[in-house]
Structure 1
Amino acid sequence: MKELTLPPALAAELAEIYVELQAEYERVAAEIPLSCAGCPDNCCDSWFFHHTYCEWAYLWQGLRRLSGEELTRLVKRAEDYIRQSQAQFAAGKRPQVLCPLNEAGLCILYEHRLLICRMHGIPAMLTRPDGKTLRFPGCFRCQDIVHACAEAGPAMDRTQLFTRLADLENRLLGGNRQRYPKVKKTIAEMIVQGPPAASVI
């Protein structure tokens, strides 16, 4: 099956979105103020999904920079992640398993980490196309700081970034986004299943 690859121009545009996201993250974190230094938690064991082909393909651009031995070891870790998650689901628990990309507390593909990984922790908001605004409180440490201040702190507005990402996704899929199966995968699943395929429904 033909692989869905991310052209250099779109990869550069996605990297630009990430740079702008990082700047906004740092602005909001500084205003709270929030720092990950000394935190007893590790957000890399948080359970969430990723939803775009462009980020899936971008992740694989990073994975291909690893040696064959490193990639084989990583795939085994990803397979173990999936098994542990399925077992926790079967026990009626929300999975809490360390991301296979985390090694000694650090992401081995830090430059290629995905959007949700990059914005996790700080308060955020998102206005949907129907006008409804969703709010996200941030990590437990962030919530403790904001609560101690007894006032609402700053929040990142995800709307524009997500709109740009959706536009980039649509261009990658040739304007046929509705014909592709929806993406709802963990990083481990993206690793084990290999690069995204250019297949339509």
Structure 2
Amino acid sequence: MKKMTRQAVFRKLAALYERMADAYSETSAAIGLSCENCENNCCTSYFQHHTYVEWVYLWQGLNSLPEEKRNEYIARAEEYVRTARALVETGVKPSIMCPLNDNGLCGVYKHRLMICRMHGVVNSITMPNGKKLSFPGCFKCQELTSDMPQVPVLDRTRLYKELVMLEMGLLGSKVKSMPKVDLTLAEMIVLGPPKLNP
């Protein structure tokens, strides 16, 4: 795919995120799933993220914040990384509040990553090799769908393919030579914006 300008990539990613939100809303409504009054918080889930395009876009959101607020999130992220690494070393999966969570709201809501947007509902994805992966959704979703004869499923395949195309558009010919991304959101914050050609 031909390399795209960063502005074009961001414009297309924002539109893709809107489609993700629509797909999530449609599926959650069909299930009857709401985050309201949930006794758990998915912002404590331990996720790795895998694209430069989302990493760069996350930092666009962070850079739009007042410096004091951005520095607060960076400090929280540094603490998150220290704590998470210590837990992982002992074989414990971390359950730590996301450093961007401000009283239940994401500090960069418009720039939050794909997994943050799609977590919760039953979803599936078909990999390039044809293998289909399925995810049962959060505990509340699993309770709501346990007796459903036909469970509504959000198929992420097309959305993920579009995200991959934007990754290719951002990186251009470097897409095959760049190191793979396998970072928590906190690590993406601590490391700063990824070093890409302008």
Report % sequence identity: 46
Does residue 10 of structure 2 align to residue 11 of structure 1?
yes
- The equivalent of 1:180 in structure 2 is 178
Structure 1 CA distance for aligned equivalents of residues 79 and 5 of structure 2: 28
Please give the alpha-carbon distance, in whole angstroms, between the structure 1 residues aligned to 2:11 and 2:88.
37
Letter in 2 for 1:47: Y
Q: Report whether the alignment pairs 1:80 with 2:66.
A: no
Are 1:137 and 2:136 matched, yes or no?
yes
CA-to-partner distance for each residue in 1:62-102, whole Å, 9 max, x for gaps?
00011111111111100000111012112221011100000
Number of aligned pairs? Answer: 194
Query: Which range is displaced more, 88-97 or 39-48?
Result: 88-97
Instruction: Quote the residue 1:169 is aligned against.
Output: 167
* Matched letter for residue 172 of structure 1: L
Unpaired segments ≥5 residues, structure 1: none
Q: What TM-score do the two structures reach when normalised by structure 1?
A: 0.93
Quote how far apart the aligned CAs of 1:175 are. Answer: 3.2
Cross-structure match for 2:97: 98
Conserved in 2, the CA contact under 8 Å of 1:6 and 1:57? no
Q: Which runs of 5+ in 2 are unaligned?
A: none
- Of 149, 152, 155 in structure 2, the residue corresponding to residue 151 of structure 1 is 149
| 3-state SS, counterpart of residue 9 of structure 1 | helix
**Runs in 1 of length 4+ with deviation above 4 angstroms?**
none
The 5 Å alignment of 1:23-62 reads: 23-62=22-61
Q: State the TM-score, normalizing by the size of structure 2.
A: 0.94
RMSD, aligned α-carbons: 1.4
The C-alpha deviation readout for 1:112-147, integer Å capped at 9, x for no partner, is 101000000000010111111110100000001111
